[in-house]
Amino acid sequence: MEKMTSAGVTFAIPEDADVYPPLLLEIYDPPQGLYCTAPFKWGSKCVAIVGTRRVSSYGKMMARLLGRGLAAAGWCVVSGMARGVDTAAHLGALEAGGPTVAVLGCGADIAYPPENKNLMRDITSAGAVISEFPLGRNADKQTFPMRNRIISGISRAVVVVESDEKGGGMITARFAGEHGRIVCAVPGRADTAYSRGCHALIRDGATLVTCVDEVLEELGGGRNVSAQTEMDFGNGAGAAAVPMSELEKKVLECLSGGVRFSVDSIAEQTGESVASLSGTLLMMELSRLVEKMPDGGYEAAGFTRRAG
C-alpha cells in the first residue's frame, strides 16, 4: 500500500465496475486485479494495435496512422508500450487527443522500455497504464504472453501491424480469436519476415485492413475519420513543403512506395556516387526525410516534415 501511494497507483478488482474493464470479465482467466496509474472510465470502445518491435518505416507509419484515426473516431487505443508498433500506435492516439491505454508486462511503476518513460507519463495523462503484476516486478518471457491476453481481453478488436509468424502480435491475435474478438491484419511486403505473420492471419480468415475506415467498418462504426488523420508516407508528398536539393528529391523518388535500398543500390538507381550520397543521406536522416534501418538500408521516413 505504501508503494502504491508513493507511485500514485491504484488497484482495481472485478467488483469495481467503474474502474475494472468490463470486457475483461468475458475471458476465461481475467486477472484478479489490475494496478492502474490513473483512474480510467472503461467502456467497450477499445481497439488494440500490436506488432513487432523491429518495425519498418511502413509499419511505423501504419500503426501511427491507425492509432490517430481510431482515437479521432472516439476509440481508445490499447497496446503494450513496447518499442516499434506499440509505441507508434500510442503516439498516434496521443496526437489525436484521444485516450490510450498501455498494458505492461512488468509492474505499473516501471517504464519499460526505459526510453518510453516520457511516453508512459503522457499515456497516464490521456488514459492509463495498467498491469496485473505487483509493483517492482520486472518483465520476462512469461509475463509478456500474460500481458497479451489482457490487451485482447479489454479490446473489441485486435489489429496486427507487422509481425513475424512467432511474434508477440500473433500471440495477441490468437487470444483475440479465443476471446471472440475481431482480428484484423495490415498486409505488408512479401519479401520481409515481419509481414509473414500478418499474411498468415489473412490466409486464416483475419480481415485485411489498409486504413482506419476499414477498421471502423469492421467495428460497425462506418467511415467517419476526419481529414486531419491523414499522413504522408514515403512518396515525397508533404516533403514538397520543405526546401530540398535536387539530389534529395532524387533519393526520395528512388525510395518511393516504401522500398528499402542500400546506399550502393541508391547510387545505382540515381546515377550518383556513394561518396556524394553518404553526406546527403546523413542530412536527410537528421531532417527525418529518410530512416536508416538496422540492416543498413534506407527507407523514406514514415512522417515527412512540413514547413514550420
**Per-residue pLDDT tens for 59-113?**
988 999 999 999 999 999 999 999 999 999 999 999 999 999 999 999 999 999 9
- The three cell numbers locating residue 239: 516533403
**Fold observed for domain 2-229:** Rossmann fold (3.40.50)
pLDDT tens digit string along 269-288? 889 998 889 888 988 887 77
Q: Does domain 239-300 have CATH number 3.40.47.10?
A: no
Q: Comparing C-alpha atoms, which of 306, 257, 245 is closest to residue 281?
A: 245
The pTM of this model reads 0.80
What sign does the dihedral 302-278-52-120 (CA atoms) show? negative
Domain edges within the chain: 2-229, 239-300
Domain pair 2-229 / 239-300, same fold = no
